[in-house]
Amino acid sequence: MHRQLAGRLTGPLTKWLVLGSWILVIAGATAFAGPFGSKLSDVQSNEASSWLPQNAESTRALAKLAAFQDPNALPTVVVYEKSSGLTPRDFAAMKAQLGDLQQLRGVTGKVVGPVPSKDGKVAETLVTYDFGKDGWNHMPGAVTTLRHAAAIPGVRLHVTGVGGQAADQAEAFSGIDGTLLYATVIVVVVVLLLTYRSPVLWVLPVVSAATALTVAQAAVYALVKYGGLTVNGQSQGILTVLVFGAGTDYALLLVARYREELRRHADRHEAMAFALHRATPAVVASAMTVVLGMLCLLVAEMNSTAGLGPVAAVGIVVALAVMVTLLPALLVITGRWIFWPARPGFGSREPSATGLWSRVGGWIAPRPRKVWLVTSGLLAIACLGLFTLSANGLSTADSYTKDFDSVVGQRVLAAHGLANRSNPVQVVTDPAHAAAVRSALAGLQGIGPAEPPVVRDGIALVSAPIDGDAASPTAFAAVDRVRTAVSGVPGAHALVGGASAINRDIQVASTRDDKVVIPLVLAVVLVVLMVLLRAVLAPVLLIATVLLSFGAALGLSSVLFGHVLGFAGADASFPLYVFVFLVALGIDYNIFLMTRVREETHARGTREGSLVALGATGGVITSAGLVLAATFSVLSTLPLVAFVEVGVAVALGVILDTFIVRSVLVTALNLDVGGRIWWPSRLDRTAG
């Protein structure tokens, strides 16, 4: 940002105009989308089918299934359990309830049951709900009412199936905005207090981050409501931590540079103009790199993944805008006292010159090659943990960090040999071949007896129950067997759908996205670094360190999940999400460090410039890393394994990135390679 423009934004009068403008923006955003975008939760789409690409087989089957069932139908299974055995009186009570269950609000079709298990200890009744397009949001209340209506003295009751899982997911995501927001604010405040050692300075970055989150959520709400964007609970939760984490990172860099300039300039307005002029290019470059990286997600087949790209990009753009306008205005308005008790006086000594990271640089300088070889070797060893990573999806039972009732109910059904009647495999085919398709299903492992074909609107439906959890590897294998079997019926043009088929296609699409999006993000980041640093060798080395850092984080996380936390595996989208966040956000620290190295190189040469840059930025980079790691670790407070895994892996990766890769490994490479690191630019021939 040109110094004259920076000065105009933070002048004696314009600082108040900037503040007033943002107050108006906040008021408008709150009126439109509610406080902190509370209305955004109302337009979420958390159904698995809405995440799928249109070309998935289960998606195409879903379109034809509309002739047989409402796509908004939520089959729900009531499970009755009695360890001593269900009595005739218990069964009489179950049958007497059928009429009452049929009359419950939202119930559609015929209530079916009770169906007993062979041992007589368990029975199930199928109740189907239909509340329309946003039916998932109504299921918690519906399940509570269902429990009261189906209760029988002395009989344990569970509610599972699609409807029961919807209710439990709603509980898992309930309060996600508030839980994540409050937890994120707390950890950011704690880290800023430790970083600034000031009881008041932390308020300004937090207020700025809160402003950015409010405006970003309003913008995303508008895109969902009027632009057709798909947003689920996962992307909304990530938006919260991303805006706070990245926004606070930008704030730390700006405040650190402003504090430097306050020691060089008597007038705080002039100091801020210089700080913005020198820090904003790095902040803008890092933010735009993150935005481009996130927009790469648009090429993903998974609608949920593709939807996360614009959500994250909007969050970063808004955070950038706030941190280079509102935060500088607030800093200039409050004056030097905001840094109390360590006010940076005009002409005072810059402490970073003799700080911790200057001493680390002094330790690396005599032996840079040995340092980067040993550091790289240790990170490579950590990468070996990748061989233990199983990112093949999580069953419903393995998806939560606590036992929700729908999980317990599914477990009870499986233990007593009852198929989950809410999870049939549904094959749509040509009526003339329906009998042959039904015959093809006979005897397949993991598939129960198929129902007689039903024909409507020139389409035949053949349904058969699947044993086990709808999202389990066993169910996926059964779906694959069904698809192989029905594809062998000539002329049937059969399509296999149902909940397990949807989950199977999600797994396949996620695996494809890993192979496509990850190389694309790497290519985009490499090009951005080449343009920014005007070099080839430095960006290539930086990308290599990013890959090493990512591999080490994923390897260590995999060992932690499997051997410490006891998780059964990882969601299929886990590697992609961790990669995008670690690379796109981790590149921030590369840019913060290397732009300062380049700035210092002009006057001091590459080697001395690298040491000066490490001393000047080491503190702010590690502080920014702590903030980002702390904010992502907040995801582990949610009872969802996928959230916990992403939060822990990103937090661990950021810690590795800031304390080891960026500050030690990259500095050692700079010192060892010297001026050649800027090849082929002219700086290479003039640097030290």
Do 18 and 153 have their domain in common?
Answer: no
| Residue located via tokens 């430790």 | 194
Do 541 and 590 have their domain in common?
Answer: yes
Q: Which two tokens stand for residue 214?
A: 């409010």
Residue 443 has pLDDT above 50, yes or no: yes
Do 122 and 253 have their domain in common?
Answer: no
Domain end call among 349, 370, 396? 349
Residue 62 domain-assigned? no
Residue 354 has pLDDT above 60, yes or no: no
User: Band of the pLDDT at 3, cuts 50, 70, 90?
Assistant: very low
Residue 36 has pLDDT above 70, yes or no: no
**Alpha carbon of 20 to those of 25, 30, 325: distances in Å?**
9, 16, 11
Do 135 and 82 have their domain in common?
Answer: yes
Give residue 316's pLDDT: 92
Q: Which two tokens stand for residue 378?
A: 């240790």
Cβ 360 vs Cβ 663: under 8 Å: yes
pLDDT over 90 for what percent of the chain? 11
Residue 283's CB is within 10 A of a number of other CB atoms, namely: 25
SS3 content of the chain, % helix, strand, coil (to 5): 70, 10, 25
The CA-based angle 363-254-547, given to 5 degrees, is 55
Q: Which two tokens stand for residue 27?
A: 């008021």
The CATH number for 121's domain is 3.30.70.1320
DSSP string, 26-74: HHHHHHHH-GGGGGGGGG----GGGGS-TTSHHHHHHHHHTTTS-TTEE
Residue 407 has pLDDT above 70, yes or no: yes
Residue 506 domain-assigned? no
Do 220 and 303 have their domain in common?
Answer: yes
| Domain residue limits at 145 | 73-170
Encode pLDDT of 269-283 as tens digits.
888 888 888 778 878
Burial environment of residue 203 by CB neighbours within 10 A (0 to 12, 13 to 18, 19 or more): middle
Q: Which two tokens stand for residue 344?
A: 């940076």
Residue 315 has pLDDT above 50, yes or no: yes
| Residue located via tokens 């990135």 | 657
State the average pLDDT for the chain: 82
**Cα–Cα distance between 627 and 205 in angstroms, integer?**
12
Do 326 and 198 have their domain in common?
Answer: yes
3-class state of residue 112 by DSSP: strand
**Cα–Cα distance between 659 and 333 in angstroms, integer?**
34
Give residue 45's pLDDT: 62
The answer for residues whose C-beta is within 8 angstroms of residue 219's C-beta and 6 or more apart is 29, 314, 318
Do 666 and 546 have their domain in common?
Answer: yes
Give residue 444's pLDDT: 85
| Residue located via tokens 């609970």 | 233
**Cα–Cα distance between 247 and 241 in angstroms, integer?**
10
Encode pLDDT of 84-133 as tens digits.
989 999 999 999 999 889 999 988 888 888 889 888 899 999 999 988 77
Residue 396 domain-assigned? yes
Residue 653 has pLDDT above 70, yes or no: yes
Q: Which two tokens stand for residue 256?
A: 């650190």
Residue 414 domain-assigned? no
**Cα–Cα distance between 254 and 368 in angstroms, integer?**
30
**Cα–Cα distance between 475 and 423 in angstroms, integer?**
10
The CATH number for 589's domain is 1.20.1640.10
Residue 227's CB is within 10 A of a number of other CB atoms, namely: 9
Average pLDDT over residues 429-452: 86
Average pLDDT over residues 569-585: 80
Residue 373 has pLDDT above 90, yes or no: yes
More confident residue, 207 or 71: 207
Q: Which two tokens stand for residue 537?
A: 């060798």
Do 616 and 533 have their domain in common?
Answer: yes
Domain end call among 474, 497, 520? 497
Do 247 and 338 have their domain in common?
Answer: yes
Residue 587 has pLDDT above 80, yes or no: no
Residue 67 domain-assigned? no
Based on its alpha-carbon atoms, the radius of gyration of the chain, rounded to whole angstroms, reads: 29
**Cα–Cα distance between 388 and 210 in angstroms, integer?**
39
Cβ 165 vs Cβ 409: under 8 Å: no
Residue 44 domain-assigned? yes
Residue 633 domain-assigned? yes
Residue 166 domain-assigned? yes
DSSP string, 382-409: HHGGGGG---S---TTTSBSS--HHHHH
What sign results for the dihedral spanned by CA atoms 362, 367, 369, 370? negative
Do 199 and 219 have their domain in common?
Answer: yes
Residue 266's CB is within 10 A of a number of other CB atoms, namely: 10
Domain end call among 497, 526, 551? 497
Do 165 and 198 have their domain in common?
Answer: no
The CA-based angle 350-351-356, given to 5 degrees, is 145
Residue 5 has pLDDT above 60, yes or no: no
Q: Which two tokens stand for residue 632?
A: 């992502």
Give residue 173's pLDDT: 67
User: Band of the pLDDT at 199, cuts 50, 70, 90?
Assistant: confident
Do 265 and 303 have their domain in common?
Answer: yes
**Chain centroid to CA 660:** 24
- H or E stretch covering 427: strand 424-429
DSSP 424: E
Residue 341 preceded by cis peptide, ω within 30: yes
Strand partners, 78: 125, 159
Number of separate domains in the chain: 4
**Cα–Cα distance between 63 and 419 in angstroms, integer?**
25
Cβ 61 vs Cβ 495: under 8 Å: yes
